[in-house]
Amino acid sequence: MNSAISKFYEKSLGDRLDAVRDHANLTPDEVSSLKKYAALDFETANRMIENVIGTTQLPIGIATNFIVNGKEILVPMALEEPSVVAAASKAAGNARASGGFQAKADEPVMIGQIQLINIKDLSLAARSINERKKDILELANSKDPTLVSFGGGAKDLETRIIKHGGKEMLVIHIYVDVRDAMGANAVNTMAEAIAPTLEELSGGKACLRIISNLATRRLARAKAVWTKEEIGEDAVEGVINAYSLAAADPYRAATHNKGIMNGIDAVVMATGNDWRAVEAGAHAYASIGGQYRPLTKYYKDMKGNLVGEIELPIAVGLVGGATKTHPIAKISVKILGVKSSKELAEIIAAVGLAQNFAALRALSTEGIQKGHMKLHSRNIAVLAGAVDDEIDAVAKIISEEKKVNVARAKEALEEMRKR
């Protein structure tokens, strides 16, 4: 069947489902699954994105034990991977002996980029723009007086000459304090508003006018100490050795940072923020020095305790987007008890550090699979056909035997049912 379905967006939910059912030969049970809604109903979902036919759900778990800047925090995490929530909770518990996590986020300043091409004299164009900086910023701020009234708005701009493939261009960075928003809409609106003026001053043509997700002026940092008495001297040495490999080798650094993002993405998703933007910024920041590097670092203090630190851009908001639309996102924010985007970013950074510490400790001591597979065994039991009380019973058998696979789970289930 042709996928070019005319005016699909105008169709009712029923008609959309009928069209997809016919195209994909969906069974009645599969269509019924698509019709099931939880907190996010069809009407709300249909306003959030286009061509909605259903919703999907991820489990939301609560990471416990977190103390961030002296405040007790329960952390909602939305993801599908077992062991992540448990690992974050354990790492946070290990850090409590030293007071938990200290975190600090920059002011919420985002960068808008305006690309100017076909300029005859780039240096002259840059000077002309810098001389009119005040007027340009005033023009940008006129597009969002509400943001300005809350203390935000366009604060500065700079010019950059970029060369690529034998071509030269002028790129303008406008720095916008977006307050408690993620900021994409505000920044993009301002970038488009000032583009004609920049064209006039430079004699060039504006091409791209859009936010950058490499938010180097919106960094978040967190730090924690895990005492040698709490985690053991072997773990201290093991984590530092594991970090050393990531610092030297991008192949390891990629997996190292993936572990960080297990925690960060889960909180970003639970609060309805843009996890793709945060991911892009994190990995770009990891590469900003010319080689892909870990976003955390570890070392020993004078007492031989393990110190962990993290720094990365975290552009998240509490206003606008799904954060204010999705019912579960609003509940997650309430559970966190945060009052500003900076506070949210600080907690997210702390979770990323905790997640990374937990992974490195497991990798460098007992191995990552022991705890992960123990939790994963329940999923395998379900895949084997176990239901109700059978799930935990089968999971226990295959976990203890260290044979966490569907074939063994099916055998164990069959043996159990025969008995």
Query: For residues 148 and 192, what is the distance between their CA atoms, to the nearest angstrom?
Result: 18
- CATH 3.30.70.420 residue ranges of the chain are 111-212
Q: What is the pLDDT of residue 91?
A: 97
CATH number of 370-418: 1.10.8
- CATH 3.90.770.10 residue ranges of the chain are 60-100+217-366
Q: What is the pLDDT of residue 367?
A: 59
Given pLDDT bands bounded at 50, 70 and 90, which one contains residue 404? confident
- pLDDT tens, position by position, 58-70: 999 999 999 999 9
CATH number of 111-212: 3.30.70.420
Q: What is the pLDDT of residue 181?
A: 92
Cα–Cα nearest to 267, from 184, 351, 180: 351
Given pLDDT bands bounded at 50, 70 and 90, which one contains residue 210? very high
Q: CA-CA distances (angstroms) from residue 411 to 314, 385, 390, 391, 402? A: 47, 11, 13, 13, 14
Q: Are 110 and 187 in contact (CB under 8 A)?
A: yes
Query: For residues 397 and 385, what is the distance between their CA atoms, to the nearest angstrom?
Result: 15
Q: H-helix or E-strand containing 299?
A: strand 296-300
Q: Of 16-30, 40-54, 245-259, 373-387, where does the model show the most confidence?
A: 245-259
Is 274 an annotated catalytic residue? yes
Backbone CA torsion sign across 225, 302, 229, 297:
positive
- CB 118: neighbour CB atoms within 10 A? 12
Based on the number of CB atoms within 10 Å of its own CB, is 369 exposed (0-12), middle (13-18) or buried (19 or more)?
Answer: middle
Burial profile 6-21: b = 16 or more Cβ within 10 angstroms, e = fewer? eeeeebebeebbebbb
- pLDDT tens, position by position, 84-111: 999 999 999 999 999 999 999 999 999 9
Q: Are 195 and 129 in contact (CB under 8 A)?
A: no
- pLDDT tens, position by position, 119-131: 999 999 999 999 9
Q: Out of 90, 326, 372, 374, pick the active-site residue.
A: 372
Return the half-sphere exposure (C-beta side, CA atoms, 13 A cut-off) of residue 58: 20
Query: For residues 295 and 313, what is the distance between their CA atoms, to the nearest angstrom?
Result: 10
Q: What is the pLDDT of residue 389?
A: 84
Is 283 an annotated catalytic residue? no
Q: What are phi and psi of 173, to 5 degrees?
A: -105, 125
Query: For residues 289 and 219, what is the distance between their CA atoms, to the nearest angstrom?
Result: 16
- CATH 1.10.8 residue ranges of the chain are 370-418
Is 376 an annotated catalytic residue? no
Q: What is the pLDDT of residue 388?
A: 82
Q: Out of 11, 18, 71, 81, pick the active-site residue.
A: 81
- pLDDT tens, position by position, 164-202: 998 999 999 999 999 999 999 999 999 999 999 999 999
Q: What is the pLDDT of residue 295?
A: 98
Q: What is the pLDDT of residue 106?
A: 98
Q: Of 32-36, 351-355, 394-398, where does the model show the most confidence?
A: 351-355
- pLDDT tens, position by position, 361-394: 999 887 555 555 666 787 788 888 888 888 888 8
Q: Give the global pTM.
A: 0.88
Q: Out of 180, 274, 343, 346, pick the active-site residue.
A: 274
Q: Out of 258, 300, 403, 410, pick the active-site residue.
A: 258
Q: What is the pLDDT of residue 305?
A: 98
Domain 60-100+217-366 annotated CATH 3.90.770.10: yes
**Structure-block tokens of residue 269:** 């998703």
Cα–Cα nearest to 307, from 222, 225, 383, 234: 225
Is 372 an annotated catalytic residue? yes
Return the half-sphere exposure (C-beta side, CA atoms, 13 A cut-off) of residue 328: 22
**SS3 state of residue 163:** strand
